[in-house]
Amino acid sequence: MSASIYEQQCNGERPHPHCASCDTTIDIARANPAVRDPSDIDHQDEAVDRHYWYHSTYLEDWPSEDSYRQDVTEMIEKSMLPHWQHQGMIDGKLSIALHLGTYGAAVENILRRRCNQDFDGRSYWLHQVEIRLEAADLYPAVRRELDGVIGDVPLSELVKHENSQAVRYVNTHESAGSISLAVARTVIARVRTIALPPPSTVLSASARAQKAVEAASAQLADAQRLRPDTTGIPDNKIPRSVHAVKLAERRGIIDPRLMEVAKKTENYENRHQEIWTELKNGLLDEYLVGVNAQVRSLFDGACQTVGNPHEFHEQVKGLAVLVCEPDSVVRAFEDAKWRKIGHVP
């Protein structure tokens, strides 16, 4: 199907196709969550609290209410909200359900956060969670994701589902199609935590990757010769692009030297970006063998090209082990101590 036909169908300008077997109209403009594995053990009500669940976050002592309250309070106080709304927002944040999922979903959540939300190089922690469900705690069906704002599901949503303490849903954001769990804190029995990546599981550097890193380092050093001489030009006057100089000329600021500086700056930055892009693609090809396109795309966005190529290489290896060596990462929990959270028999 061509992109133009797809667009017409999405806009209602063209009829949707029909199933060849049953002649049912196929609505391709609407995405519906589908369970990845119909035989997933979590379809069985009695199995939901018989295995470990996972949660990833930048809070080491999750699900500590005190730490979360402090974090939320600091975030809201720094926001643009008027002061009189602060307490209401804090109370709302403290009355949301907690999300648990598969190992894969927890790792993809980290990648998505690094890609879209977190730009301060913060550390992450992976929590292995044991839950305990009493009779009637679990909503007896796997459903769509619960209603909420940016993933924040109020505890009242659980109450609406037969006053449940845990509701299964099909995850459409991380490890799409896997089953995740929205829970009240009271069903979490105990938690153990590891830093990511665990020091014992970092991947060994491959010879090909090391060669790519050395080549990139040499190329970046060589690219320095492309940088313009800005001696005598105040920092706030140095143009970053030819377009900026042309705009200045329209305002009557004409300086032939600035155009020369702008052209050289663009050449340098383009070359700089080419080198980093080539290195990133090469390292991802080397370490993400067999990883699907969706996860690779998240991984690409999560890898921040800061520092030098050697530091970037370590960053890629640290993230790649989470995706490519899950068994090794999970084994690191064997040395972690359990923390009791809720009621434990």
Assign 3-class secondary structure to 60-90.
CCCCCHHHHHHHHHHHHHCCCCCHHHHHHHH
Largest pairwise CA distance in the chain:
79
Instruction: Output the pTM of the full model.
Output: 0.82
For 34-62, write each residue's pLDDT tens digit.
788 889 999 999 999 999 999 999 999 99
In order of 51, 112, 140, 198, 230, the CA distances from 165 in angstroms are 17, 27, 11, 32, 64
Percent of the chain with pLDDT over 90: 52
263 touches 271 (CB < 8 A): no
Q: Would you say how long the chain is, in residues?
A: 345
User: What tokens appear for 322 in the block?
Assistant: 């989470």
pLDDT grade for 27, boundaries at 50, 70 and 90: low
For 172-199, write each residue's pLDDT tens digit.
888 888 999 999 999 999 999 999 999 8
